[in-house]
Amino acid sequence: MFDFDDTVTEKGQYEPPLRLRNALVELSQKMPLGFCTGRQWESFERHGLAELLKGIDSERKKTFLENLFLFAENGAIGYEFDAEARKFGEFYRVEWPKELVDREYLQKTLSEAIKDYGQVYDNAHRVVVVMRTNLHDVVDRKVEDVYDLSEKIYEVCLKILRKISADFEEFVHVGNSGIGVIIGPKDGDKDEAIRRFGEYLGKKRNIKFDDGFRNILVAGDSPQPGGNDYYFLSGKYGTPFNVSDGDVYNGFLKPVLGAKGERLVHSKGSLYLVKKLLK
């Protein structure tokens, strides 16, 4: 199970490099493969799936799609491929916590509050509230500047949410992916996606798991507190790997190390993990 941005892509890139794409297609021929991303389904289809499917023959494509699962909106919605209907369908959805705040009201408020740094996505996501930086469409941007803006947006979000309720953390999680910020239901974060994935595979594919679903490998790049993989890589479920160059924050999370003990980060870390699984 992989995060998408800066995990299967290089930092600041939109699409996975060719070597990793090929390796992921290879892996999908052997086992179920999940992507867990802040993106909504359409964006994953455009930037992820379309690239992964480029040049793959129809037999492999069939197996790939059978084994492909998408956990979009930071884990709030799970999709599986329905071979008969030939399209993806939701197999679970966690609703926005209306009792905290009306989602549209929050979007409007944030839109005004973050305007120096970024924008709220309009009508793209179904459950979560997502913001991107003002540098999103700027071609010659510096990645570091994007990360700085994203951090500023994150701070503003916390301030606004605190004003709405001192107990906002009982209802939502706020995650900073480095390229944007996502606010989603607390019970629909990426840790829940791992559990739902394992539960689904147990029921429908007869795969045996322990309570922690430890034989699901999980990789992401934002495990720091406030990062959008904080819950994904917390070690509550799965066996987590950190493909960022940052420190390891809990007893479960491991870095990915190359032959000389060097840190392998972003798509290189993911490529290493996929190749290990293929051996």
Which residues, other chains included, contact 36 with Cβ-Cβ below 8 Å and sequence gap of 6+? 1, 2, 3, 4, 71, 74, 75, 190, 193, 194, 220, 232
Count H helices and E strands in the chain, helices first: 8, 11
d(CA 91, CA 114) in angstroms, rounded, equals 34
CB of 247 to Mg ion, least distance (A): 16
Q: Which stretch binds Mg ion (CB under 5 A): 72-80, 105-113, 173-181, 208-216?
A: 173-181
Q: Side by side, which strands form the sheet with 77-82?
A: 33-36, 68-72, 77-82, 87-93
* Closest approach of Mg ion to the CB of residue 228, in Å: 6
Instruction: Tell which one of 3, 73, 80, 189 touches Mg ion (CB under 5 A).
Output: 3
Query: Quick one: which segment of 124-132, 171-179, 210-218, 248-256 binds Mg ion (CB under 5 A)?
Result: 171-179
Q: Which residues, 201 to 230, sit near Mg ion by CB under 5 A? A: 221
Residue count of the chain, please give it. 279
Q: What CA–CA distance (Å, rounded) separates 126 from 166?
A: 25
Binding mask 229-248 for Mg ion (x = CB under 5 A): --------------------
CB of 242 to Mg ion, least distance (A): 11
User: Does the footprint of Mg ion cover residue 15 (CB under 5 A)?
Assistant: no
Which C-beta is closer to Mg ion: that of 70 or that of 201? 70
Candidates 1, 2, 6, 8: give the one binding Mg ion (CB under 5 A). 6
Q: Contact letters (x/-) for Mg ion, 92-121, by CB under 5 A?
A: ------------------------------
Residue 164's CB is within 10 A of a number of other CB atoms, namely: 15
Q: Which stretch binds Mg ion (CB under 5 A): 27-35, 76-84, 137-145, 169-177?
A: 169-177
CA nearest to 179, candidates 158, 148, 216: 148
Residue 166: phi and psi, rounded to 5, are -65, -25
Strand order of the sheet with strand 239-242?
Answer: 217-220, 239-242, 254-255
Min dist. Cβ of residue 92 to Mg ion (A): 22
**Least distance from C-beta 47 to Mg ion, angstroms?**
13
Q: CA 263, CA 256: separation in Å to the nearest integer?
A: 6
Nearer of residues 180 and 185 to Mg ion, judged by Cβ:
180
Total binding residues for Mg ion by CB under 5 A? 5
Nearer to Mg ion, 20 or 101 (CB): 20
Q: How many CA atoms lie within 13 Å of 247's alpha carbon, on the beta-carbon side?
A: 4
Least CB distance from residue 221 to Mg ion, whole Å?
A: 4
List 2, 5, 39, 200, residue binding Mg ion (CB under 5 A): 5
Chain residues that interact with Mg ion, rule: CB under 5 A: 3, 5-6, 177, 221
